[in-house]
Homo-oligomer: A and B are copies of this chain.
Amino acid sequence: MSFIHIQEVIPRDGFQIERNFVPTDKKINLINELSDCGLSKIEVTSFVSPKAVPNLKDAEEVVTSIKRNPDVTNVALIANVRGAERAIAAHIDEINLVMSASATHNKKNVNRTHEESLAGFNEIMSRVHGTGIKVNGSVATSFGCPFEGEIAENAVQHFIDKYISMGMDSITLADTTGMANPVQVKRLVEKVIDQIGDVPLTLHFHNTRGMGLANVVAAIEAGATRFDSSLGGIGGCPFAPGATGNLCTEDLVHMLHEMGLETKVNLDKLIELSKGLPELLGRNDIPGQIVKAGKVTDLHKT
């Protein structure tokens, strides 16, 4: 039995692009409930400018108000030194730094060149040093860029080397706009695990083109054991309106359990939380399938 870590991202990756602001008390309540589900990490917010991401303007209140479960690592996405200072002040467990392997996507996403991003990360690393806060380095568009197309695997590996040499504690390969396929995933994950050894590696897949769960299986075959996903499949990218976004947490956990893999996640509780999303978000088109179809083990009466 392999153990797979499930890392929830709905409070950040999901809520950031929702049409409606999710009230702070409801965010905190959902994160508290998620903290009791057996998840390894929760990306609870992002310390960014409230002008850039109004939906996450309550980052301080969220981080300082949520219950802290010692078994759950609470993560915040950080875009710059100011964000790192806010995250340190709020005593977050881990900060997540993101740069795109694609120069074009990085410029579009954070308005920086690769050199500017890496220089910023260096400064952030020196601020974080000694605080006990862990740092995860994410390589966005690792499997393809919506502007540039194919991304060279050695470019991804080059940036991972940079992250490791800065002292980052863990690495994420992100398929930011859902371009990865299972053959590519298996190949790149094998290479990266060879490269980073015991440094924890997370795969952050989107289901934009329906391949999300197939990519998870390919990554597990290549040795991956940590996955980001979002309750209900909430989140996504603005380039594909109507398309599915992040990998759906309950669909992911359901598949892994059916495959005989262990997660420690309470699937029934996740499903109940997901059923609350239409009311929480004010919309009914939640991408997750298990909430609609039921688990394989939910039998019908004749």
Contact = CB atoms under 8 A, between A and B. Distances in A.
Contacts of A76: none
B148 A299 contact: yes
Interface residues of A, number: 50
Given A214-B255, A240-B294, A147 B300 contact: yes
Interface in A253-302: 254-255, 258-260, 288-290, 292-297, 299-302
Given A242-B292, A293-B240, A302 B104 contact: yes
A244 interface: yes
A38 interface: no
Interface in A141-199: 144, 146-149, 178-179, 181-184
A133 interface: no
Contacts of A183: 258-260
Contacts of A244: 289, 293
Given A108-B302, A289-B243, A149 B181 contact: no
Contacts of A147: 299-302
A181 B259 contact: yes
Given A210-B213, A210-B251, 20 more contacts: A108-B302, A147-B299, A147-B300, A148-B299, A149-B297, A178-B293, A181-B296, A184-B258, A207-B210, A209-B254, A209-B289, A210-B212, A210-B248, A210-B255, A211-B255, A217-B217, A239-B300, A240-B292, A240-B294, A244-B293
Interface of A: 104, 108, 144, 146-149, 178-179, 181-184, 207-214, 216-218, 239-244, 248, 251, 254-255, 258-260, 288-290, 292-297, 299-302
